[in-house]
Amino acid sequence: MVSRCMTPSERIFVVGLNHLNSSVSSREKAVVSAGDLPAMLAELKALVPLDEIVVLSTCSRVEVFAACEDPRRGRELVREWFTARAGAEILPALYAREGADALRHLFRVTSGLDSWIIGETEILAQVKKAYQAALAGGFTKRILNRAFQSAIAAGKDVRAQTGIQNGIHSIGGAAAMMAKRIFGDETGGEIVVFGAGQTAETVARHLAAKNFDKIVVANRTLENAKAIADNLGGEAVTLDAGLARLASAEVAVFSASVTDPLLLAADLARRLPSRRKPLFLVDLGMPRNVEPACAKLESVYLYDLDDLKRMIQDSMAGKLAEKDRAEELAALAAHDCRQETDKPPRVVSMEARV
């Protein structure tokens, strides 16, 4: 039986999986697209007796933050939702935290301390979007409103007061580093970037400075592709036109919001006979944009998020000196938030209101 003395912060819990203990294929099964998010929030609310809920789904993590009267029961029901969605094989990768531990986790996430790129900037915007979607749908109240607003503010403060975002601080920057490692200083040729979101824009911006002869931005909505390409002196094309450019491009980076792969092995095989050089594919999509079987084709080299993670681990060593200080700041901010959350709501008397 749940104690009536449970504080507001003790009602918070999180269940999820992330890059630390799950593969791309595991996260791909659980991912929630931005378009499906409102319906998914409603589905969870109907299945699980949750008072408040926020779903955070990125290429590196899928997490459900919630608050309810019985967090242990809520946690188990959310675990069941995960397994129904992605299969029992993800159970070993699922983690759950409650109360102060859940709050600390949220603050570490927004501070970029739970990311495989320490101090990454993209996660802060992703958390903000996830919270705003839940807020707009009426899925948050006092507890998670305070938690997420405080965590987002702390994420900005931690980065401002430490050097954890020095060097590579985004997946886009990491992808650009991968291209540099593949080609060295002599790049040249054409690169095609699929997608027009934040990651795609960051990739395109970084690669525009890497001496490629031409940047092509391909997207379902041509105007969105044009907004990125025009700023970089590149060319905007449709998705189909971008796929056609694979016959001549040096590199293709995929970061489009799709539910099914954009590039199938059979389709790519038809385009390869006209090529005279290797093709490098970097798939940053979640769900994946490129069918894994493409890697089996001759002269095709496919890198996904797990490959990218392994390639940049060495570059993270320089940030470790700043990480301890950032951890302290995030923990302190989480502690302050818990104390504020557990304060009784201020009651204003009728006399004071007059």
Residues designated as active site: 59
Q: How far apart are CA 82 and CA 80, in angstroms?
A: 5
- The residue with tokens 């809920």 is 53
The pair of structure tokens assigned to 305 is 């998020």
Please, how many CA atoms are within 13 Å of residue 303, restricted to the half-sphere of its CB?
Answer: 21
- Where does residue 134 rank: exposed (0-12), middle (13-18), buried (19+ CB within 10 A)? buried
Question: What Å distances lie between residue 243 and 146, 199, 249, 250, CA to CA?
Answer: 45, 19, 10, 13
- CB-CB contact of 96 with 75 (8 Å): yes
Q: How far apart are CA 121 and CA 216, in angstroms?
A: 25
> Whats the size of the chain, residue-wise?
354
> What amino acid occupies position 144?
L
User: DSSP state, 202?
Assistant: H
- CB-CB contact of 134 with 54 (8 Å): yes
Q: How far apart are CA 121 and CA 265, in angstroms?
A: 33
Please name which of 175, 129, 170 lies closest in space to residue 284, comparing C-alpha atoms: 175
